[in-house]
Amino acid sequence: GEERFGFSVDEVIGQYQTVIKRLGKFYEGIAGIAGATILGDGSVAMILDTVGLAEAAESEAS
């Protein structure tokens, strides 16, 4: 069968087209984080690695 996976969030603030930037050597390898982007207002938003998070949850559950 098909498996499903979901995220619980406090708020969805919008949908954006972004360029994902690498985080650099100090932040590489942090589980669940794919990178970051700079939003139009200048704030930084982290980009989740949703596939990696789903795989980690699946391996923890088994």
Residue 26 corresponds to which tokens in the numbers above?
């100090």
The pTM is what? 0.67
What are the DSSP calls for 1-62, one per residue?
---------S---------PBP--TTTTT-TTEEEEEE-TTS-EEEEE-HHHHHHHHHHHH-
Computed from CA positions of residues 41, 42, 43, 49, in that sequence, does the dihedral angle turn out positive or negative? Answer: positive
- What digits encode the pLDDT tens for the residues 8-62? 889 888 888 889 888 888 887 788 898 999 988 999 888 888 888 888 888 887 7
Overall CATH class of domain 1-62? mainly beta
Query: For the chain, which residues make up each domain, given as ranges?
Result: 1-62
Compute the distance between CA of residue 23 and CA of residue 30 in angstroms, rounded to an integer.
10
Residue 41 corresponds to which tokens in the numbers above?
């207002």
